[in-house]
Structure 1
């Protein structure tokens, strides 16, 4: 529904703006006020139908793919390795993100307000969605560090080897993720608008589940669970690449000096295949998550820009789609890049 539906006879948009925005001469119905402040209850069908189709496809492929990853790893003892334990953890966090986040967001596209799922689900959804994203980035950081030790410090990794160690690390990552995400649940609440404004009489139709805190939770989340891990992971992979290159050059020079040239061993090829797959997972993760964190920060710091609402709407749609694509793409990468 657009503003034309609320214009009275012979009324201009400027007149509508004045009577709904002027508190001293307020003359708006409750429905008009809610549209003015919160927008339409539902997006236009020409937008919502294609968005819904995309989200349903993402949901189905993501859930089926990640369930298959978990089942394959559980049922095959040969796949019980430290790296695959991390990938199992990543698949579980992606499942949580899809199950608790995507259906709720799809519902909001069709019915933005009033919120009707209750305070418990409002807080639970905030906790699990945020924690799942933290688990994903921490897991990716952990298996990147694991590969770094295997390549650059193999003796050190051998001394720490064992599936029990990997399981304990994963458990710690989940605990850390939920502890750090708990403020989002604490400060998420169902907000209401007053009608008339500043009257103290809440409008039940304005109910909306949102983060209420004025503290810098969003900024801290982006810094410590996106930008810092991104820099760490980039540094680790650059170091690994340099180490592999120098090792290869040394082996080539030794082989030429000894008059021997050998092809790559099966172990070396397997190691390169694992690295390629993990690099693809890391790249996909950060490509999908960068727009999400950019949109979060833009929402906080870009409000004064003239085109804020237009830019934020486009950023929100792109970031929202990629947000869930990140939870769907990993099983596809495993299938394409790893025969196992």
Structure 2
């Protein structure tokens, strides 16, 4: 992804300048000292390590635990896959090329290098948009039918098809060229008299993979936020309602942080390449390489923040990370955190048994014994219940309460609380 939209077209054209002594040879004005390259290498390596490990762990947490396989989390799997892939396949190569301004990887990888990042970014932001729309439908229109697992997978497939179609021009027009002393990878855009195809394509890409999705997500989360924080259901102050409302707020908060992080990290990158279309001479100056490396680092770093956000803002993801890294000396996973990742049915059963036993103990402590009941009945002239009848009555009451608790637990464990 060097750059995301235009690759090294500038390298092929203007970034090799005549030598200062006036000879016919060429020199690369963007060669950096070793110490600077080493610092940038450490910074980019940290992105790759944290992004790949974190996003692969997110995928494992969701796919390996049945309770985590919800509509929202399937889109999070797609988001994690796109970010881990882009970080693994493009970040290091992009850094090497930007640092040396020389392509070492051949024509095939040049085309993939220009093609895949646009597809991955499109898939990432579309996944976040799908989550925003799903949250909007679940909270604003709770009675409408939710997406099934099959429908979610179909939507993910459609997202990738559209992503490949959007990125295909970058693949089709990518090429390598041999300059004096080095090889460059660039995009050989066609030239038309009636329109500037390159500029139109860049503007469309920026709109489709940044501004339009952010507009949709901003509207959806604004409406959801007003509903969750500014509105209350009249007369419904039960504990069940409050717990459900708190859970929904946590999910929405987490996704808002994810979206804002993505928007902040990618905004300088998009501004950089939009300026490149209208002020190309500015990008021939030597300092622009350091600007590009900084802007690209910020954009690529967006791939490593999401696992950190999930771990900090979601109890189940935090439990999953502790479970995955329990081999580390500083990480301890308690039994409760392990329980959080078990299946819904198991949690319902355990919760029902625990609460039912509490209620049975309370009922037994409050109700009078058979002997006391007989004395009270004799004084009042009311019929005396036998011990066997009392046990039967208590058992019936306990079963009824246990059933109510079980139904409540089942309600909480449903897909209404997706993450």
TM-score bin (small chain): 0.7 to 0.9
Q: Distance in 1 between matches of 2:57 and 2:210?
A: 27
TM-score between the two structures when normalised by the length of structure 2: 0.65
Q: Does 1:128 align with 2:116?
A: yes
Who is 1:333 aligned against?
309
What displacement does 1:107 show? 2.0
Who is 1:183 aligned against?
169
What displacement does 1:269 show? 1.4
Name which of 42, 58, 68 aligns with 2:47. Answer: 58
TM-score between the two structures when normalised by the length of structure 1: 0.79
What stretches of structure 2 of length at least 5 have no aligned partner?
A: 1-16, 191-197, 317-419
Q: Distance in 2 between matches of 1:222 and 1:109?
A: 21
Q: Is 1:66–1:328's contact at 8 Å kept on the other side of the alignment?
A: yes
Aligned pair in 2 of structure 1 residues 245, 276: CA closer, same or farther (>3 Å)? closer
Aligned length: 292
Name which of 205, 211, 218 aligns with 1:227. Answer: 211
Q: Is 1:93–1:133's contact at 8 Å kept on the other side of the alignment?
A: yes
Q: Is 1:63–1:95's contact at 8 Å kept on the other side of the alignment?
A: yes
What displacement does 1:27 show? 4.2
Q: Distance in 2 between matches of 1:297 and 1:313?
A: 16
Aligned CA-pair RMSD: 2.4
Q: Does 1:85 align with 2:71?
A: no
Aligned pair in 2 of structure 1 residues 62, 20: CA closer, same or farther (>3 Å)? closer
Who is 2:274 aligned against?
297
What displacement does 1:191 show? 2.9
Who is 2:182 aligned against?
206
Q: Is 2:118–2:167's contact at 8 Å kept on the other side of the alignment?
A: yes
TM alignment of 1:26-65, pairs within 5 A = 27-30=22-25, 33-35=26-28, 39-40=29-30, 42-65=31-54
Q: Distance in 1 between matches of 2:19 and 2:311?
A: 55
Q: Distance in 1 between matches of 2:18 and 2:81?
A: 47
Deviates more, 1:58-67 or 1:209-218: 209-218
TM alignment of 1:15-26, pairs within 5 A = 20=18
Q: Summarize deviations over 1:68-107 as a string: whole Å, max 9, x none.
A: 1111111101100000000000000001111111120232
Q: Give SS of 1:154's match.
A: coil
